Amino acid sequence: MDEAIYSKEAAQRGNTDLVIVLHGYGSNPERMLQWFDALPAGVTGAALSGPLDVGGDRGWFLLDYFLANDFAEVVAAAQRVFDWQDRYAIGYRSISLLGHSQGMAMATTLHRLRPEHYRAVVGLSGFVLSNELLNLTDVEPAPGRGVPFFWGRDPQDVVINPDAVEYTGAWLESHASLTSRRYPGMGHGFGPEEKRDVTAFLKHYLR
């Protein structure tokens, strides 16, 4: 059964670009539906739910403050998305990813495991996993040839620790064609300026 929440009815999804929307730890797909308003015309959003119960909300894999992660859990969560994608993400012009917080970690992990599969990636107030086994999958692209990647965050966001921010910035500079934007005062949530910039980014790369 297809459990995704879509921005368009089934009859309207054909020949559109798909953006898979991934929520954060302790959140749920319903909280990500506001991002459907940021999707340009001709784009279908599909919000997925993580497999982990987090106090009645959802997550993708266990985390602590230091964002330590278990490789097996990470790969199992990624495979869950791949299984959905291989079954239901059919007939679209392209597939892209949009993730918030832990959802950004999921989005970058999916891209690392299936490089050159996604047209663009949007990461919001999140991070890239630092994992020795996952790092083995990374192949640095030629300069300027990485996946188009939008990274939006508040530099004072206390949820993502400084080491994770530093690693994320270094990884994105090496592995993506990066558009980086900062939104002071936004915190770990969403903001109207960020949504405007995400819309412009997706219009450019999904046109």
pLDDT tens for each residue of 77-123: 999 999 999 999 999 999 999 999 999 999 999 999 998 899 999 99
Q: Which CATH class is domain 5-206?
A: alpha beta
% residues pLDDT > 90 (the chain): 85
Q: What is the mean pLDDT of residues 136-162?
A: 84
DSSP state of 60: S
Cα–Cα distances in Å, from 143 out to 45, 147, 178, 200? 30, 11, 11, 23
Q: What is the mean pLDDT of residues 7-15?
A: 96
Structure confidence at residue 115 (pLDDT): 87
Strand 17-22: give its sheet, edge to edge. Answer: 5-6, 43-48, 17-22, 94-100, 121-124, 147-153, 176-182
For the chain, give every domain's residue range: 5-206
What predicted TM-score, i.e. pTM, was given to this entire model?
A: 0.94
